[in-house]
Structure 1
Amino acid sequence: MALSTNCWKYLVLTFNVLFAMSAVVLFGASGFLLYRLFIYRHFIGVNVEYPVILLLMMAIITCSVAWIGWRTAKSLHQIHVIVTGILILVVVIVEFSCFVWAMVVWDSVDIDVRNAMSSYFDVAAGDKNPNSADSIRWDRLHIQFECCGVSGPGDFSQQHAVPFSCCGQGPLDAQHRPYAADCTAVFQRGCAKPLHQYAQRQLLLIAMTALIASVLQSTGIFCTFFLAHSITKRRRASVRNSTLRESTFAAPDDSLLSPTAPAPTLPKY
């Protein structure tokens, strides 16, 4: 029984090491995906970022849970082991919720992107300074996605001019072509559709990351509760063995020396 408990103990210790490593990987992956969405936050809205923000927070919490699980597995305190298992269960449930949340946002992200882009386009159109931060963001978006406006170059009809970025000419950058004197070919597609597809790809990666993390980390729930069950069985066996030893080494029967014992008879002469 003790050997079985030790096996579960070392299995849980190994899991907590892997649990901590998965938290580091999850932190890096969610941080990268958050960055990929954050750079276009003005065009897609902040609601799209919430699932990956929650996933990033769970990666930090997972490190703490892994440390708690390591300490409780070494101490073999049953109550603490059960509490650790419950904490792992909560982490897995929240991570699976991130998967569901990301898929829900994935299904409706086209509406969020179009609303956010339309609002931000009105803000940028009201600013007549071509070197403002809002105008530069639109220029970079036009060049990176080879698009123009929200729905197309017709969005600039009220301004009577299409920005040079709609021709692939924009701010000097290592990945961009420099300014040119003329604009011969204007991008005909709007930026809403390519940015919608971009956001969907990122959300799909977020959902898959959360799903894989929840499935892999769920193995720790079974290991932890099996360890708690093994501790209970070992404790019962220890109590049973202690009871048997007490009954074996009980006081000898001294009833022959009791006052009620019959007196020895003397020989008759």
Structure 2
Amino acid sequence: MALSSNCWKYLVLTFNVLFAMSAVVLFGISGFLLYRLFIYRHFIGVSVQYPVILLLMMAIITCSIAWIGWRTTKSMHQIHVILAGVLIIVVVIIEFSCFVWAMVVWDNIEIDIKTTMTSYFMLTGENKDTNSDSVRWDRLHVKFECCGVSGPNDYSSTGHVPFSCCGQGPLDSIQKPYTSDCSVLYQRGCGTPLRDYAKSQILMVAMTALVASMLQVSANYRNLYKLAH
């Protein structure tokens, strides 16, 4: 038995509210994960951020769909609900694509980060007049307790090791850039810990996209099923 007009309007309103809430949550999580990757963009590369950027865009589009659905509910016919459901399915497919894309990035991230870090390390060595690049490396060294890309030997060509490889912060590095005797010199390179950090963030992106797509397609299916019966 088909639902009455008031019943399915109430159902659509409820669905739009829940759909909008899920979009807001998705926006918050994807925005946070994008920030976590963005702060190390010089070392991990921009391509690693693409899946979470797309996921953030889907959250914004989902909010727009929910708002349009809310605005048109009073005059909405059943065909409009079905069309809205199809549009939501398209969003869900794209969100699932974000999951697949993130897993591909996760699988290849070691090579991407190694290449990007090595290029940026060489660029920093060439641009000795650019202090901002050195400060970024200092912050990376202190954050992950590491030195260079593969270890302190990376600085053998320069003849000095950054003071941050001894655990001193960026401000200390600006005042006293280098030191010859460190009591505690980080021996591991930053490639491995940064890779592990980025992989954990990308895995969270993939899981967020998967859960969002599954929840939204489930809710949309129940909504259309109730309207059709």
Please give the TM-score of this superposition, normalised by the length of structure 2: 0.90
1:140 and 2:108 aligned: no
Taking only aligned residues, the RMSD between alpha carbons, in angstroms, comes to 2.2
- Number of the residue aligned with 1:244: none
Matched with 2:219 is 220
CA distance in 2, matches of 1:198, 1:74: 48
The equivalent of 1:14 in structure 2 is 14
1:16–1:69 CA contact under 8 A, matched in 2 = yes
Tell me the equivalent position of 2:183. Answer: 184
Counterpart of 1:186, as a letter, is L
Deviations 1:74-116 (A, max 9, x none): 3341221111011110111111111111111001100110000
For 1:47, give the aligned amino acid. S
Q: Is contact 1:124-1:135 (8 Å) kept?
A: yes
2-structure distance, mates of 1:229, 1:102: 35
* Cα separation, 1, equivalents of 2:16 and 2:52: 23
Segments of 5+ residues of structure 2 without an aligned counterpart are none
Residue-by-residue CA offset, 1:181-231 (whole Å, 9 max, x unaligned): 75222110000000000000100111111111111111232234235525x
Stretch moving more, 194-203 or 183-192 = 183-192
For residues 197 and 93 of structure 1, the distance between their equivalents in structure 2, rounded to whole angstroms, comes to 28
Indicate conservation of the 8 Å contact 2:142/2:164, yes or no. Answer: yes
Higher gyration radius (CA): 1
Is contact 2:20–2:62 with CA below 8 Å preserved after alignment? yes
Residue 127 (structure 1) shift: 2.5
Note the 1:56-205 alignment, pairs <5 A: 56-129=56-129, 132-172=131-171, 182-205=181-204
Query: How far 1:172 sits from its partner (Å)?
Result: 3.2
Partner amino acid for 1:218?
V
Q: Which residue of 2 aligns with 1:239?
A: none
Where do 5+ consecutive residues of structure 1 fail to align?
231-269
Q: Secondary structure of 1:75's match?
A: coil
- TM-score, normalised via structure 1 length: 0.78
* % identity of equivalent residues: 68
- Give the distance between the partners of 2:95 and 2:3, measured in 1 at CA: 34
| SS of equivalent to 2:10 | helix
Q: Kindly indicate whether the alpha-carbon contact (under 8 Å) linking 2:2 and 2:227 is maintained by their aligned counterparts in 1.
A: no
Alignment length, in residue pairs? 226
CA–CA distance in 2 between the matches of 1:73 and 1:171? Answer: 56
8 Å CA contact retained: 1:88, 1:220: no
Q: Distance in 1 between matches of 2:23 and 2:162?
A: 45
Q: Is the 8 A contact 1:68 1:84 kept in 2?
A: no
